Amino acid sequence: SRLQGCSPPGPSMLERHGDGPIADITLLPLSEELVTDPSLQVEISDAVSERDKVKFTVQTKSSLPHFTRPALSVVRQHEDFVWLHDTFSENDEYAGIIIPPAPPRPDFETSREKLQRLGEGNSTLTREEFAKMKQELEGEYLAIFKKTVAMHEVFLQHLAAHPVLRRDHNFYVFLEYDQDLSVRGKNRKELLGGFFRNMVKSADEVLITGVLGLKEVDEFFEHERTFLLEYNTRVRDTCLKADRVMRAHKSLAEDYIPISVALSSLGTQEVCQLQTPPELLGRVASDEDLKLSDLFKYYMRDSQAAKDLLYRRLQALADYENANKALDRARLRNKEVKPAEAHQQLCCQRFEQLSASAKQELTDFKSRRISAFRKNLIELAELEVKHAKASSLLLQNTLIVLKGDA
Partner 1 sequence: MAAEREPPPLGEARQPELEELEDGEDLFTSTVSTLESSPSSPEPASLPTEDISINSNGPKPAEIILDDDREDLFAATEEVSLDSPEREPILSPDPTPAITPVTPTTLVTPRMESKSITAPVIFDRSREEIEEEANGDVFDIEINVSDPEKVGDGMNAYMAYRVTTKTSLSMFHKNEFSVKRRFSDFLGLHSKLATKYLHVGYIVPPAPEKSIVGMTKVKVGKEDSSSTEFVEKRRAALERYLQRTVKHPTLLQDPDLRQFLESSELPRAVNTQALSGAGILRMVNKAADAVNKMTIKMNESDAWFEEKQQQFENLDQQLRKLHSNVEALVCHRKELSANTAAFAKSAAMLGNSEDHTALSRALSQLAEVEEKIDQLHQEQAFADFYVFSELLGDYIRLIAAVKGVLDHRMKCWQKWQDAQVTLQKKREAEAKLQLANKPDKLQQAKDEIKEWETKVQQGERDFEQISKTIRKEVGRFEKERVKDFKTVIIKYLESLVQTQQQLIKYWEAFLPEAKAIA
Site for partner 1, rule CB under 8 A: 124, 223, 227, 230-231, 234-235, 237-238, 240-242, 244-245, 247-249, 251-252, 255-256, 258-259, 262-263, 265-267, 269-271, 274, 277, 366, 369-370, 373-374, 377-378, 380-382, 384-385, 388-389, 391-392, 395-396, 398-399, 402-403, 405-406
Query: CA of 386: how far to CAs of 252, 290, 381, in Å?
Result: 20, 16, 9
Number of H helices, E strands in the chain: 11, 3
Other CB atoms within 10 Å distance of the CB of residue 37? 14
Nearer to partner 1, 197 or 244 (CB): 244
Nearer to partner 1, 175 or 235 (CB): 235
For residue 72, give the 3-state DSSP assignment: strand
CB 149 within 8 A of CB 46: no
Q: In the bound complex, what is the minimum distance in angstroms from residue 10's beta carbon to partner 1?
A: 30
Nearer to partner 1, 345 or 367 (CB): 367
Nearer to partner 1, 142 or 402 (CB): 402
Q: In the bound complex, what is the minimum distance in angstroms from residue 256's beta carbon to partner 1?
A: 7
For residue 63, give the 3-state DSSP assignment: coil
Q: Cα(369)–Cα(295) distance, rounded to whole angstroms? A: 10
Per-residue DSSP letter, 207:
I
Nearer to partner 1, 1 or 123 (CB): 123
How far, in whole angstroms, is CA 152 from its chain's centroid?
7
For residue 196, give the 3-state DSSP assignment: helix
Nearer to partner 1, 280 or 340 (CB): 280
Q: Cα(100)–Cα(233) distance, rounded to whole angstroms? A: 19
Q: In the bound complex, what is the minimum distance in angstroms from residue 291's beta carbon to partner 1?
A: 11
> Crossing angle of helices 127-161/219-265, nearest 10°?
160
Q: In the bound complex, what is the minimum distance in angstroms from residue 246's beta carbon to partner 1?
A: 9
Per-residue DSSP letter, 208:
I
Q: In the bound complex, what is the minimum distance in angstroms from residue 378's beta carbon to partner 1?
A: 5
Q: In the bound complex, what is the minimum distance in angstroms from residue 197's beta carbon to partner 1?
A: 27
